Amino acid sequence: MTLETWEYKNPETVAIRREARTCRGCRHIESVRCLGSVHDVCKLFPHRSLERKCRSYAEVKQRD
C-alpha cells in the first residue's frame, strides 16, 4: 500500500484528515455489545461501513 503525498506530513494533520472522511462523530452511530466486544453501528444503515460519510451524516450537538 502506497501513501499519498499529504500522508507524509504532520501526523496530527493526517489523523484529522482521515477522521474527516469517516462517520465518526455522527449522531446516528450507536455502540453495540456483541459476543463480548463493542462495535460501532449506524442506526439508519446497520449494514453500511463507517469508513465513508453518507448523505444522512449529522454531527453530534455539543452540550454547554
Give pLDDT tens digits for 11-62.
Answer: 888 888 887 777 877 888 888 898 889 888 888 888 887 788 888 878 777 6
Q: Which has the closest alpha carbon to 24: 62, 64, 54?
A: 54
**Quick check: helix, strand or coil at residue 22?**
coil
Range of the domain at 37: 1-56
**Residue 10 placed within a domain:** yes
Output the pLDDT for position 54.
80
Instruction: Tell me, yes or no, whether 64 lies in a domain.
Output: no
Q: Say what the pTM is.
A: 0.56
User: How many structural domains is the chain composed of?
Assistant: 1
In a domain, 30, yes or no: yes
pLDDT score recorded for residue 52: 81
pLDDT at residue 28, as a whole number:
83
Q: Tell me what pLDDT residue 1 has.
A: 67
Q: Is residue 5 predicted with pLDDT exceeding 70?
A: yes
Q: Is residue 62 part of a domain?
A: no
